[in-house]
Structure 1
Amino acid sequence: MAASDARGAGGVRRRDAPRRGETRSDGGPRRAPSGLRLALALPLLVGALLPHAFAGGGTRRWFGGRGESQRAEAQAAKDAAAAAFYELDTAQRGLRISIEAITAVDSSPDARRAVEGFDALGRRIDEVSHTYIGAVDAHDLDRDELDAAAAGRARAELTRAKEELDRVKGELDRFEEGLGPLLGRAETQLARLAPAVERARQALRGASGALDGVRESGLRADDLAARLAALGPELTRLNEGAGRHGVPETLQRADRVLRDAETVRAEAERLPERAAEIDRRLVSLRTRTEALTTRTEHVEPVLSELRRRFTAPCWQDLQHVPEQATATLRQAEERLAEAGKARAEQRWPDATSLLSTVRALLDSTDEAVSAAGDRLRRLDAVATDPKAEIDRTRFAVRDAQRLAMDGRNTPDPRHARPLDEAVARLDRAVDALEGRHPDYWHFLTELEGVRASAAHVVGLIREERGAAH
């Protein structure tokens, strides 16, 4: 009988189809007894169930070559995504340090834009990181029941997550490259910070040491001590650091403390010399005051000579010199006494200021006292020989005229007019000497004015020619 005849539709054996090994009564094969059939079927059943028995009890299901390859590819994709995630996280941490360095130093619009750009990148990093973590959580690659299709989906999602992580990492790298100038300036200032603070501290220690040395020599230096004490709060702020006060402000504070402390130290070291100088000035100004007092006593005889020999306009402006000199010298003596007291009390700024006042008073007195003697000498000279003064003035005017005509046929009116007026003024002054009682002081002042006019014209000409060349 054919194999197709032994089965009905659907491949099911018909009930009347003979089994293998049986012979029917009509001469075909007979069916084996039921016990024998069971004995023969049992080994086949056990063999069929054995793989399923070992699959239970925590043992991984066996898929064969294709399934294990998919699982390995998914695991490799997971490892690659994890490495990309770690690289992105490390780069973000490093860039955050750079941004913090920039913001600690720089408040410019460029720095603010850098912070905004970093924040935007941070949001993008959060998105791709969330996608990556979601893909990892969604697929347990160690699960026994993981089939090939699930492993393929896991590999695809993890690969996409890695690509997104790599893409954002590239954006982060490009952003960091653009921060180069800002970061360079920030690093320069940060590199200055620690040395600047240390220099300020050393300057304070140096000022304190110099002040102690001055005090040991017997000088109090109270004003310097007060200025040094005022720097204490600044030192406290420096010690609090740039994290609290900012890098630019801390650098400025360090420079200011350094400068002020160095000034205190220099003044403390110079204080003994300053005290000695004040002592010398006190002695010198006392001596000068005494000398001017003696000279003032001689002014009245000079005025008497002027009154006797010359007209009133020659000496009227000097009438009050003796009284003014006496009053000024009295003020100088009072200020000298105050300066001596300030020196004894070691009020160095006050002593210095008072001595400067004394010097100014003595200078004005000296000038007034000298004016009387100088007036008498000049009037004596011009009364004896006015020609020397006239010749001196005419030479100055003619020299200016020659310069005005140099290289020209006619002089520039701007130069010729004041020179012509100077000549006329000189002639009038000379003519005024013909009287019985000439005003020699007016003559001298007029000739001084003529010479000044000529010198002014010479200056203009030379300035114009210098500009032309």
Structure 2
Amino acid sequence: MTATPPQPYAQQVAPRLSSRPRGRRTGALRDLVGLALLPLPLLVAVLPGAFAGGGTRRWFGGGRGESARAEAQAAKDAAAEAFYDLDTAQRDLRISIETITAVDSSPAARQVAADFDALGRRIDEVSHRYITAVDAHDLDRDDLEAAVAGRARAELTGAKDELLRVRQELDRFTRGLGPLLDKAETQLARLAPAVERARQALLAASTALDTARGSGLRADDLAARLAALGPELTKLNQGAGRHGVPETLQRADRVLRDAEAVRAEAERLPERAAETDRRLVSLRTRAQALTTRSAQVEPILSELRRRFTAACWQDLQQVPEQAADAVRQAEAKLAEARKARAEQRWPDATALLSTVRALLNHTDEAVSAAGERLRQLNAVSKDPQAEIERTRFAIRDAQRLAMTGRATPDPRHARPLDDAVSRLDRAVDGLEGRHPDYWHFLTETEAVRATVGRVVAQIRQDRGGPV
């Protein structure tokens, strides 16, 4: 049996399987017609001899001969049924193999295809034996002998048995294809919906882009990104037969993802433009407010210089100049951002506005630090005891936690807590004198509390509790 016959082989061999010699029967028919034309008296005289002479069919062996012919014919019919069944099964299996190889290029799929080819050659061999047996014996011959019919029956039965054995091999092979075939059919089932989703996503992106442009937004970068998907759409339309199922699925997913990104950005573009405008106004207002606040830093520094030691305000000396410079930079960046907005260069505008915000945040912190420094120094100079007690309470609370459930504290916890007590005592001693360094005192107490906090976190972690 060939891999893809021009027509089912059964149709090619059917005329041979059903033909029978027609010579004797044609001659006998001609004799009967001639006899029918004779006058009735003469016909009565001739008729017995006509059927007793050479035109008579020879019924060999009586009942035994007809039985042999019938058995051979039955064997022939059974072999034909096995042949057609095997041929149908092979055709069905070929469809499954083609499905797998169209989707899967893995070594396992290639091995399956090779095994199917080998099985096809085996099928060709047994099919050839069957056809040879059919062609070798004309079971419709008038002179068919019983011995010949017996040989025909044996050969046809042997051919049928081989066809059935190969059919069993084919069935076993088919059962082994389950996982690969399921995977291939799943991918094929995904193919058409995936391609359609990609097409719809491209259409939605194009519609969103047209809407954005209709509102006066150019969206040139989005248009370029959408145009770049054109060749991908062409390949999708060419189909999986040209580019392969896995590649087409990957392409469809990629087009879908990129098109949806373009659509989302195009739909958000009017909002993005409005947001950019709001940020431009907000940051411009904030820059102006910082200019006003920066002017207040110098009076704060004057008071700090007048009332406290140099260590309390020296690090703030450059704040007015730095603030003014930062505001100037922010205003310059704002001008660039306005230009980028006018040219609809949205990524540039966004980046510039982020830079402006960072500059203003840093300046705001520096300006606020001067006023906060004065507030803290005023508070501690009036009542340093409140800061001392706050810090001592933190230390005592940590010490109680370290002793909970223990007769003696863990050295890993006790040592840093003891050091914290000593550090606080030194900071308090530093307040003595005519011009105490209150800022140093404040930084020391803050550092002590930070150390205590780390010890508490370590204790809780060692005990498995919340930090």
Common fold, TM-score beyond 0.5? Answer: yes
Deviation at 1:52, TM superposition (A): 6.1
User: Displacement of 1:108 after TM fit?
Assistant: 4.2
Partners of 2:427 and 2:371 in 1: how far apart?
24
What amino acid is the match of 2:54?
A
Name the CA distance, whole Å, in 2 between partners of 1:430 and 1:230: 71
Residue 230 of structure 1: aligned partner: 228
Residue of structure 1 in register with 2:456 after alignment: 458
Counterpart in the other structure of 1:41: none
1:342 alignment partner in structure 2: 340
Matches within 5 A, 1:135-284: 135-284=133-282
Structure 1 residues 141-150 or 129-138, which shifts more?
141-150
Q: How far did residue 185 of structure 1 move?
A: 2.3
Q: Distance in 2 between matches of 1:324 and 1:281?
A: 24
CA distance in 2, matches of 1:50, 1:175: 59
Aligned length: 419
Paired position in structure 1 for 2:307: 309
1:50 Cα deviation from its structure 2 partner: 7.8
Structure-2 residue corresponding to 1:399: 397
TM-superposed deviation, 1:62: 4.2
Q: 1:145 offset after TM fit, Å?
A: 5.0
**Post-superposition offset of 1:190:** 1.7
Partner Cα separation in structure 2 for residue 225 and residue 289 of structure 1: 35
- SS of corresponding position for 2:406: coil
Question: Take 1:69 and 1:462, find their aligned partners in 2: how far apart are those partners?
Answer: 101
- 1-structure distance, mates of 2:143, 2:234: 68
Shift in Å at residue 90 of structure 1?
Answer: 1.1
The alignment's TM-score, normalised by the length of structure 1, stands at: 0.84
**Which position in structure 1 is the counterpart of 2:127?**
129
Residue identity matched to 1:54: G
Of 386, 389, 394, the match for 1:388: 386
Tell me by how many angstroms 1:115 deviates: 2.9
Shift of 1:105: 3.0
Distance, in Å, in 2 between the alignment partners of 1:366 and 1:62 is: 123
Q: Which residue of 2 aligns with 1:29?
A: none
What's the secondary structure of 1:434's corresponding residue? coil
Q: Report which structure shows greater RCO (CA 8 Å, sep ≥6).
A: 2
Contact 2:60 2:143 in 1 (8 A): no
* Worse-matched range after superposition: 425-434 or 71-80: 71-80
What runs of 5+ residues in structure 2 fail to find an aligned partner? 1-47
Per mean C-alpha deviation after superposition, the further-off stretch among 156-165 and 409-418 is 156-165
Query: Counterparts of 1:101-120 in structure 2 under 5 Å?
Result: 101-120=99-118
Preserved contact between residue 319 and residue 367 of structure 2 (Cα < 8 Å): yes
Alignment of 1:49-68 (within 5 A): 53-54=54-55, 62-65=59-62, 66-68=64-66
**C-alpha distance in 2, partners of 1:101/1:317?**
77
2:29 aligned residue: none
Q: Deviations over 1:350-387 (max 9, x none)?
A: 11111111111111111111111111111111111111
Distance 1:117 1:291 in 2: 81
AA aligned to 1:63 is: F
* Partner-residue secondary structure (3-state), 1:433: coil
* AA in 2 matched with 1:188: T
CA displacement at 1:452 relative to structure 2? 0.4
Q: How far apart in 2 are the matches of 1:430 and 1:71?
A: 127
**In 1, Cα distance between the equivalents of 2:381 and 2:367?**
22
* Cα RMSD after superposing both structures: 2.2
State the Cα distance separating 1:243 from its structure 2 match: 2.4
Q: Which has the larger radius of gyration?
A: 1
Alignment-derived partner of residue 7 in structure 1: none
